[in-house]
């Protein structure tokens, strides 16, 4: 009796038969089992946007404020991306904020005081971040000092290093049109739509290829209808964002017209500048998201990070270099902190002793945790940093429009972080209980 052959067409048909309904059912079952992922952060983001839009719609829900919100959250998001790698190990890095400030100080000094070209100054800042991460990683992984103690010491020490680098002047301007453009300039309108097309098509092709590869080897895979729904949703969300950012964001007063050429003698009477387009900082975040997601999800190094965070002893017995993974993750964290420092310097047009300080680190840790990265290690994604960073940015952007009391902003942000940590703990408890 011959064995029936299972073809790719049969597998595809079986996958399609699952449909959106079954996919939704599977998703809700995972939620009941404790795997909530970034769902609470997404729901919280939607609720916050709705509340602020209702209360201050004329100010909050505008293209100008949308661009400002992205500008405010970019450095926090990048810093949170680095913290995701450390949190996945079940560790913490309290020095990331001042690591960003120190690297920004190196950038400003080499660029402005020493007269280096901007590429060399940028490389010097990034190398500084790698060195900071290497030293922290060696102390944690080789000497076995708890990361809380090591990074707390670095938190204090790097503040002193910043003061020594900056000197008595207090503030060093960043004199580079290229670096300043990262946080202060926008893409042309056509470039924004081209970016939308590349991101949407890239996601569609990569996800479809992953589905087809799983079907070829007979593994369960996402149905084509679910894949199409995801692609359509991403295309619509990103399309709306690009459309809003491509609008003229400068406030046009009666009697004035928009123009492109600025400054005498090219500036007509009553002319205002045209401010539209996707900020270049968005491109930086997208590139980091793609690269870091690939590292965590498609490489052996990424799988080793999750293994160490889940059970370091089991990972060691499996032949994974636990100390090497920890050192590498701290270096990645500080490297991304250096990039965040460059973004902060670009946004402020200068570097001061407060760069990377104040609430920068707290907001970054909050962004990673609020987005869904577990404080206990072994669970999280780079995308969590973006979602959580948007939540933090919306709170920081929307609350001042409603009340001028800064204390309320801290209270609300702290409560959101506490809720996120509670959800993480409860979901982990439910997940472990469901496995018994």
Which whole number is the average pLDDT over 27-47?
Answer: 68
- Tell me what pLDDT residue 380 has: 86
Instruction: Check: CB of residue 83 under 8 Å from CB of residue 365.
Output: yes
Tell me which of 204 and 52 has the higher pLDDT: 204
Q: What are phi and psi of 155, to 5 degrees?
A: -55, -45
Q: Is the dihedral of CA 371, 366, 185, 403 positive or negative?
A: positive
Q: How deeply is 213 buried, as exposed, middle or buried, from its count of CB atoms within 10 A (0-12, 13-18, 19+)?
A: exposed
Average pLDDT over residues 208-229: 82
Which of 15, 45, 39 minimizes the C-alpha distance to 27? Answer: 39
Residues 405-419 have a mean pLDDT of 75
Question: Domains along the chain?
Answer: 40-185+279-428 (1.10.3470)
Q: Assess whether pLDDT exceeds 50 at residue 241.
A: yes
pLDDT in tens, 287-344: 999 999 999 988 999 999 999 998 888 999 988 999 999 999 999 999 999 999 999 9
- Of the chain, the percentage scoring pLDDT greater than 90 comes to 39
Residue pLDDT, tens place only, 369-385: 888 888 888 888 899 89
Instruction: Please report where in the chains the tokens 């309904």 appear, as a residue.
Output: 21
Mean pLDDT in the chain? Answer: 82
Alpha-carbon gap, residue 385 to 434, rounded angstroms: 27
Burial 77-94 (b: 16+ CB within 10 A, else e): bbbbbbbbbbbbbbbbbb
The pLDDT of residue 14 is 44
pLDDT at 15: 45
Instruction: Tell me the C-alpha distance between 363 and 428, whole Å.
Output: 23
pLDDT digits (tens, 9 = 90+) for 76-88: 999 999 999 999 9
């Amino acid at each position: 009796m011959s064995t029936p052959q299972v073809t790719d067409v049969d597998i595809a048909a079986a996958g399609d038969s699952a449909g959106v309904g079954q996919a939704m059912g599977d998703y809700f079952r995972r939620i009941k089992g404790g795997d909530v992922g970034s769902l609470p952060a997404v729901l919280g983001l939607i609720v916050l946007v709705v509340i602020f839009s209702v209360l201050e719609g004329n100010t909050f829900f505008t293209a100008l404020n949308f661009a400002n919100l992205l500008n405010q959250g970019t450095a926090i998001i990048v810093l949170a991306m680095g913290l995701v790698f450390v949190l996945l190990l079940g560790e913490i890095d309290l020095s990331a904020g001042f690591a960003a400030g120190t690297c920004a100080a190196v950038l400003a000094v080499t660029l402005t005081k020493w007269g280096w070209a901007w590429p060399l100054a940028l490389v010097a800042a990034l190398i500084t971040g790698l060195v900071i991460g290497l030293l922290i990683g060696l102390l944690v992984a080789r000497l076995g000092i708890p990361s809380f103690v090591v990074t707390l010491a670095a938190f204090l020490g790097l503040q002193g290093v910043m003061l020594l680098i900056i000197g008595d002047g207090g503030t060093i301007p960043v004199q580079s049109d290229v670096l300043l453009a990262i946080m202060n300039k926008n893409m042309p309108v056509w470039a924004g739509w081209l970016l939308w097309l590349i991101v949407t098509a890239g996601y569609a092709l990569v996800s479809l290829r992953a589905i087809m590869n799983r079907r070829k080897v007979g593994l369960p895979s996402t149905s084509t209808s679910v894949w199409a729904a995801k692609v359509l949703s991403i295309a619509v969300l990103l399309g709306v964002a690009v459309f809003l950012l491509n609008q003229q964001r400068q406030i046009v007063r009666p009697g004035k017209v928009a123009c492109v050429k600025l400054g005498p003698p090219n500036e007509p009477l009553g002319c205002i500048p045209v401010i539209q387009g996707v900020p270049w900082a968005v491109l930086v975040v997208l590139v980091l998201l793609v690269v870091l997601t690939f590292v965590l999800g498609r490489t052996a190094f990424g799988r080793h990070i999750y293994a160490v965070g889940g059970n370091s002893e089991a990972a060691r017995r499996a032949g994974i270099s636990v100390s090497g993974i920890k050192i590498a993750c701290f270096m990645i964290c500080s490297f991304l902190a250096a990039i965040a420092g460059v973004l902060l310097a670009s946004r402020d047009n200068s570097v001061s002793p407060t760069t990377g300080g104040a609430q920068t680190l707290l907001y970054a840790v909050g962004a990673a945790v609020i987005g869904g990265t577990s404080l206990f290690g072994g669970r999280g994604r780079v995308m969590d940093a973006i979602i959580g960073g948007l939540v933090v940015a919306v709170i920081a952007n929307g609350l001042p429009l409603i009340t001028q009391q800064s204390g309320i902003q801290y209270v609300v942000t702290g409560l959101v972080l506490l809720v996120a940590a509670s959800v993480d703990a409860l979901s982990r408890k439910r997940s472990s209980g469901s496995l018994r």
